[in-house]
Amino acid sequence: MRPCAEVWAPAELGLYLHIPFCLRKCPYCSFFSVPASRELIRRYGLALRRQIAGTTAGRPVTTVFFGGGTPSILPAEELATLLAACRAQLPWAEEAEVSMEANPATIDAKGLGVLRRAGFNRLSVGVQSLDDAELQVLGRPHNAAEARAVVRAARSVGFHNLNLDLMYGLPGQTAEGWRQTLRAALDMDPEHLALYELTIEERTPFARLSEEGRLALPPEEEVLAMMAITAEETAGAGFVRYEISNYARPGRQCRHNLNYWHNGDYFGLGAGAVACLAGRRCAAVRDIEQYCLLIESGQEPWAEAEELDPEASLRETVVMGLRLTAGISLTELEARFNLNVLQYYGSTLRRLAEQGLLVQANGNLRLTARGLNLANQVMAELV
C-alpha cells in the first residue's frame, strides 16, 4: 500500500486483522463475515500470512486488533501463528496493546492459554446479553453461563484487560431487564465495557422483521431509561464514559479504537479490511475467494482507494473525534490540517452550540450530554 507524504502522524500506529468467519450469521449483523469451513480457514490463513509478509512499516506498531467475524473460531494455534508472523515482519512497540475479539461459544481455557502465551494481552468478549432468552432472540450461539465461564477462564490464564460487549434496546427488553444484565456484567469485574444500542441495519433479518412489523423493539422512552441506567450503574462502579458507547476504568481505554477515533494511521489486513496511512485509505475486497486469489497471484487485495484532501480529512476527523467525551483539540486540528475549525464551520457550530449540543471549553470542542444522545444528528451537520 502506497502512503502519501506524511505531514502529521499520531503517536499510535494500529494493525487490524480481519477474520471473516462465524459459526452462523446473527440476525442483526451487517459486518462482513461468512460461515466457516476447515478448508476455507486454512486457505485464508495462508493468504493472510502472505499479506503480512509483504507489509512494511516505518515506525513501531503500537496497537493490534484481531476482529471479525469471530476470530476465536480459528484454532488458537493459528491465531498465535498469525500474531507471531506480524511480530516477525513489523517493528513492534514494547508496550503494544494486542486485542482479540472472542465469542464464548468458540473458545475455552486451553485456547485462551495459548493466546495469552502468544502475546495477546487484551480480550474483548462478545457477551451481548446475560439473559438467555435475549441471547436466543439475538441468535447468539452461547448462553449466559458460557459467557461467565469464558471470563473466569480468561482471568485464570492471565488476561488482566477484559472488555465485555453488551447490547440494549433489544426486542422485548425492559429497562429493568437491562439493569439486571448490566449489573451482572459489572459483577464480572471487567476493565472495559462496550455498550451498544441495537440498530437495525439494512439487508439483515432484523431489518426484514422490522419492515414486516414483527420485531417488538422497546419504545423510545424505555430506551432513554436504559441510557439513564447505563450512566448510573457504570459511574457507580467506577467506570468513565470516554466515547459514545465505551466505558473504562481509569487508564483502561482501548488504545486501538482511540486511534480510530483520532483518525490516526492503521494497517488493515484481510478480506474486507480497511487501511489508512497518511491520509490514503484503501478497502480490501469483501469476498474471501477473490481475496485469496489476489494474494496467491501476488496482487494487492484493494477494491478501492481514496486520498482525502485536507478539508475532507478535517471534516472526517472532527466527526470521528466528537465521539469522544473529551472532544477534539482545536489547536491540534489546526496544526494538523492548517485550518481553523471555528472559522471553517462558522455559523453551523454557533447554531449547534445555541441548541445545547456542542460546547467549547479548555481548548476542546465536545458534545454536551444532550449532544451525546443526539450524536448522529450533530454529525450529519458537520460531515
The model's pLDDT over 125-157, given as tens digits with 9 standing for 90+, comes to: 999 999 999 999 999 999 999 999 999 999 999
Predicted local confidence at residue 1, as pLDDT: 39
The amino acid at residue 187 is: D
Strand-pairing partners, residue 97, are: 63
Separation of alpha carbons 59 and 334, rounded Å: 24
Predicted local confidence at residue 89, as pLDDT: 98
pLDDT band at residue 10 under the 50/70/90 scheme: low
Predicted local confidence at residue 36, as pLDDT: 84
Mean pLDDT, rounded, for 231-247: 98
The model's pLDDT over 83-130, given as tens digits with 9 standing for 90+, comes to: 999 999 999 999 999 999 999 999 999 999 999 999 999 999 999 999
Exposure on the CB side of residue 126, measured as CA atoms within 13 A: 24
Entry pTM = 0.94
Rounded to 5°, angle at Cα 311 from 305 and 316: 65
Asked if pLDDT for residue 245 goes beyond 80, the answer is: yes
Asked if pLDDT for residue 4 goes beyond 90, the answer is: no
Asked if pLDDT for residue 364 goes beyond 90, the answer is: yes
Predicted local confidence at residue 7, as pLDDT: 40
Separation of alpha carbons 250 and 70, rounded Å: 28
Q: What's the CATH class of domain 313-382?
A: mainly alpha
pLDDT band at residue 6 under the 50/70/90 scheme: very low
Q: 7: which 3 cell numbers?
A: 505531514
First CA to last CA across the chain, in angstroms? 26
Asked if pLDDT for residue 9 goes beyond 60, the answer is: no
Instruction: Name the DSSP class of 56.
Output: -
Separation of alpha carbons 12 and 267, rounded Å: 11
13-261 has which CATH code? 3.20.20.70
**Residue-range domain boundaries for the chain:** 13-261, 313-382
pLDDT band at residue 348 under the 50/70/90 scheme: very high
pLDDT band at residue 215 under the 50/70/90 scheme: very high
The model's pLDDT over 52-75, given as tens digits with 9 standing for 90+, comes to: 999 999 999 999 999 999 999 999
Asked if pLDDT for residue 347 goes beyond 50, the answer is: yes
Separation of alpha carbons 165 and 185, rounded Å: 10
Predicted local confidence at residue 2, as pLDDT: 35
Instruction: Name the DSSP class of 324.
Output: B
Q: What are the DSSP calls for 116-173, one per residue?
A: HHHT--EEEEEEE-S-HHHHHHTT-S--HHHHHHHHHHHHHTT---EEEEEEES-TT-
Mean pLDDT, rounded, for 6-33: 85
Mean pLDDT, rounded, for 201-226: 95
Q: What is the mean pLDDT of the chain?
A: 94
Give me the percent of the chain exceeding a pLDDT of 70: 97
Predicted local confidence at residue 70, as pLDDT: 96
The model's pLDDT over 290-335, given as tens digits with 9 standing for 90+, comes to: 999 999 999 999 999 999 899 999 999 999 999 999 999 999 999 9
